[in-house]
Structure 1
Amino acid sequence: MTRRARDVYTEWRGGTCRVKWWSGDYHDDGRKRFESKGGFTDEDEAYDFGLDKMSEIRQGTGISNRDGATLMTDWIDDWFKATDHAYTTHKSYKAIINRHLKPYFKGKTVAEIDVIAYRAFRMHIQRKLPATGSAKNVMTVLGMILDDAVPRLIKVSPVERKRQRGRYVKKTQRPRKRDMDIAAIDQLARNAEVVFGYSGYVMIWTMAMTGMRPGELFGLRREYCYPNWPASDPRTDPDEEERYEEDVLRYGKGDDLMPAIRVQQQVQQEKGTLALVPPKYYSYRTLVVPQFLAEMLDKLLASHDKDWVFPGMSGGCLGSAGFSVDYWPAMSKGADERKRAPGIRNPRPAIPKVPDFAGKRMYLIRHGHKAWLDEDFEHSRFAIESRMGHEMPGVEAVYSNVTVAMERAIMKALQERWEKFQEAPNKP
């Protein structure tokens, strides 16, 4: 073995030369850990290679042979364990990793995922998941995993964020949305009442007038709903004492108070078990409601003693009731009459179809609520986005605040929309 420089060695074995360099690490017994590469036919070339490796190590860009051989599946596991996400995000990432990333990259090292391998996976997932949004979510997670592998496992990330090479492919346009007709909401609410009673009727109007997410509606408990809230607030967070006191002065039942719902949680299924978790993106918020809805909520809570504001057919939580199978299709697509007969537990009249929602997601009601507020041209953009549970970037978010006047304007506009519909000559 020939020592050519400190911590860089060359040696000939057979007809080829091998270079060894210090990796920057130590063995458990204190000895330096060396790495090597063989196959050189020129000793100077081998020596220069070793010097380059040492330079990379000094600059913090060197990758050891051991790290470079890390399996992609092992790195994915390490990456996921080190992340801290909200419940729904954690659940979504876990599904993407287990269903798509780990099966595809099984047996491959991180170093093997170059730009060509990255493109190959992108084409694979686009064929497997034609829905643009689904494929994009998978690529987003893969991008974060590969970006965080730099510089320990790979020198640069293969993720392409500029315009893709190859033939131009026009981006898929978003599906066209119809304006949300209040008459369609009314019919949907009436259908819901046929399916699971007054609870269903009020739930649809609540979603249309607040923009709450389905999981937030299903997880709404009576202690967070008008007329009980805020007097019934459990007050579990000592850091929120100031807000608790302000809520009592601002919201509730009374001439000078505003009726409101507190979005404090949602329900999600986790391995077959119903879990109460924070709202998406921790979007805790207070939603004022128009007077007609306040009266409906008051009447609804007086009609039952369940913990959930909107109990299902059996009185339990809609989050565990198979809502998308047993409730929504009949509410939106309609259903034939169900006559009383042996084996028929819940006879009911025929349910008319609601064309605006048939075959579509219930989530569109949330979108429609925002559109209603936008149509009024009088509400603060910050107040609208806060109501939807969105965070605004920049200075506007720092300096803005949802005031009582803003909330009263929203209540007034929604109440007027309801009253105008009630006065319509062709109302059902």
Structure 2
Amino acid sequence: MPNIEWRGSKCRVKWWAGEYLPNGRKKYESASGFDTEDEAREYGLDREYDVRHGKHVQKSRGDLLMERYALPIWLPNQDLRPESIKTYRSMIKSHILKKWGHMKVGEIDTAAYLTWRGELNRKVAAKEMSRTYADDILMVFGMLMTDAVVRYKYRSESPVPPPTPRRGKYVKKARKKKRPLAMGPVYQLAVNAYTVWGFTGWTYIWHAAFQGTRPGEMYAQQRIYSSPTWPASDPDPEQRLESVERYAQIPATRVEFQHQWVDGKKTLTAPKYESHRTLVEAPFLTAMHQALAASHDSRWAFPALNGGDLLGARFDRDYWGPIRDGAPARESRRDFTRPAIPPVEEFSVGEWPIYRLRHWMKECLDEEGHSETAVETRMGHEIAGVRGLYGNLTIKMERDIVEAQQLRWDTFFDAAGGLWMPPFPTSLPVAQEAA
């Protein structure tokens, strides 16, 4: 039974914490500030109940400050990709520790959490923060609190209340509206890219639009995993044998890595969601890759303007920016002059990232009627449930994609007639970075 004693005008309760001191005596914990003995006794009985049922949290463990828990203890033990670790660290530093860093892990209560959640919601309403970003912050905080209960035993329960059934009028989530996109704007992007980046830029845009690879995967694309050398150049003997058998007659690109910064170093990591995959190519794209490969000796399929890798370049500013938004003529540069570049309104209005080309590829595949298995496999997605379990990408599905993409290319250029096409590639322009 808990022990009750008066200290001045307030009541104090002590209970056995379920542990022993080094000298063998029982270790007690206490709480004070109660107005009546009944209140104190009830509190002590609850603590003893927690001890008997394994729910008790040592008071000293809950005294750990959030700033000494979130980054030094919690984040290093998360099995996440480098980019996710970077994002989580930023959220914890900028928002979670700013609010809770000075508080003890065990003293954060539900009322304070709900107040903070309301503050984030008001920032969303004022357009100071996106809904997605606010939800991600709350998600990370929820994981911190769940692990504080389950893994580290710093608390007996999380201050984050379980989700409740939705109340009130349904409010549709706001999504950025995509403008209708046809082949013409993509062609103009490719022309602009040639002006900025030579034949590499021309091929880069068409590859992004018809292969749908993610930007990090494009940065990591190497010659040995690209046509015309792949699959014969694949360094994995088992994968090479299997791929040669399947893709001997259909040129393809292998998505094997993405290029990321990890602890300040350029690192080839696995693609997002471990989505290693092979992407068959239409003949027009294979011809571009053959010409591009003959124009340089870099290990990268798409070398930067200075001949190095794209991860180290300022891609959004020096490449995608002028390709999408246009740029004035450069006439006074001794190293690299170029004509004026027109903006591509379908991309510049709304400031769409190059990721939009990946989305366009999926729109085209859906429009052409390819199976969900073929489309999602090409996108690097897994189909959940029984459909994903029994689905399988067949060689016919891949041939159908090649034929449809080549038809889309031929139809556009035949209908337009007389469109400019780049000459066979020569050396790359002199690097902007070196200027």
Please report the TM-score for the alignment, with normalisation by the length of structure 1.
Answer: 0.88
How many angstroms apart in 2 are the aligned matches of 1:141 and 1:427? 54
Judge conservation of contact 1:269–1:320 (CA < 8 Å) in 2: no
Shift of 1:279: 1.3
Q: 1:28 offset after TM fit, Å?
A: 4.4
Which residue of structure 1 aligns with residue 132 of structure 2?
133
The C-alpha deviation readout for 1:362-394, integer Å capped at 9, x for no partner, is 1111111111111111x2212211211112211
Q: Could you say what secondary structure the match of 1:149 adopts? A: helix
**Aligned residue in 1 for 2:163:** 161
Q: Matched residues in 1 for 2:334 and 2:136: separation?
A: 43
Q: Match for residue 238 of structure 1? A: none
For the 8 Å contact 2:232–2:240, the answer to whether it is kept is: no
1:293 Cα shift? 0.5
- The one-letter amino acid paired with 1:384 is V
User: What is the percent sequence identity of the aligned residues?
Assistant: 40
Does residue 1:95 correspond to 2:90, yes or no?
Answer: yes
Task: Map residues 282-297 of structure 1 onto 2, 5 A cutoff.
Answer: 282-297=274-289
The aligned amino acid for 2:86 is K
Please report how far the alpha carbon of residue 402 of structure 1 lies from its aligned counterpart in structure 2 after TM superposition.
Answer: 1.2
- Normalising by structure 2, we get a TM-score of 0.87
CA contact 1:261–1:289 (8 Å) conserved in 2: yes
Residue of structure 1 equivalent to 2:428: none
| Equivalence map 1:320-359=2 (5 Å) | 320-339=312-331, 341=332, 343-358=333-348, 359=351
Do the aligned partners of 1:291 and 1:415 also contact (CA within 8 Å) in 2? yes
State the shift of 1:361 in Å: 1.0
Secondary structure of the residue aligned to 1:150 is helix
Assess if the C-alpha contact under 8 Å between 2:260 and 2:268 holds in 1: yes
Counterpart of 2:46 (choices 43, 52, 57) is 52
SS in 2 for 1:357: helix
Aligned CA distance change for structure 1 residues 12 and 132 (closer, same or farther; 3 Å): closer
Report Cα offsets for 1:282-321 as digits up to 9, x if no partner.
2111111111101111111111100111111111111111
Amino acid at match of 1:54: E
Distance in 1 (alpha carbons) for counterparts of 2:48 and 2:310: 62
> 1:324/1:14 Cα in 2 relative to 1: closer, same or farther (>3 Å)?
same
Q: 1:107 to 1:186 in 2, by over 3 A?
A: same
Amino acid at match of 2:137: V
Is the counterpart of residue 416 in structure 1 residue 407 in structure 2? yes
Aligned to 2:109: 114
**Equivalent residue, structure 2, for 1:234:** 235
Alignment check: 8 A CA contact 2:113 2:159 kept: no
Q: Report the counterpart of residue 315 of structure 1 in structure 2.
A: 307
Counterpart residue number, 1:266: 258
Structure 1 CA distance, aligned partners of 2:339 and 2:192?
A: 10
Distance in 2, Cα, partners of 1:418 & 1:59: 69
Whole-angstrom distance in 2 between the partners of 1:31 and 1:243: 65
Aligned counterparts of 2:270 and 2:33: Cα–Cα separation in 1: 58
Alignment partner of 1:372 out of 347, 360, 364: 364
Q: Map Cα deviations across residues 2-25 of structure 1 (whole Å, 9 max, x no partner).
A: xxx4xx433444454432222223
Q: Counterpart of 1:297 in 2: which secondary structure?
A: helix
Distance 2:244 2:286 in 1: 17
Give distance in 2, aligned partners of 1:427 and 1:62: 78
RMSD: 2.3
Q: 1:345 to 1:243 in 2, by over 3 A?
A: same
Counterpart code for 1:251: Y
Closer, same or farther in 2 for the Cα pair 1:211/1:25, shift >3 Å?
farther
2:339 & 2:107 partners in 1: Cα distance? 62
> Using a 3 Å threshold, how does the CA distance of structure 1 residues 105 and 262 change in structure 2: closer, same or farther?
same
The 3 A distance-change label for structure 1 pair 109 and 317 is same
CA distances 1:89-137 after superposition (whole Å, capped 9, x unpaired)? 2222122112221122121223443333223323433417422222222
8 Å CA contact 1:143, 1:159 repeated in 2? no
Partners of 2:418 and 2:345 lie apart in 1 by 17
Aligned to 2:201: 200
User: Per the alignment, do residues 190 and 28 of structure 1 end up closer, same or farther by CA in structure 2, a change over 3 Å counting?
Assistant: farther
Q: Name which of 112, 119, 122 aligns with 1:124.
A: 119
1:150: how far off?
2.9
5+ residue gaps, structure 1? 236-240
Q: Greater shift after overlay, 85-94 or 264-273? A: 264-273
> d(CA) in 2 for partners of 1:357 and 1:330?
11
- Return the offset for 1:41: 4.9
Report the 3-state secondary structure (helix = DSSP H, G, I; strand = E; otherwise coil) of the residue aligned with 2:416: coil
- Give distance in 2, aligned partners of 1:292 and 1:285: 21
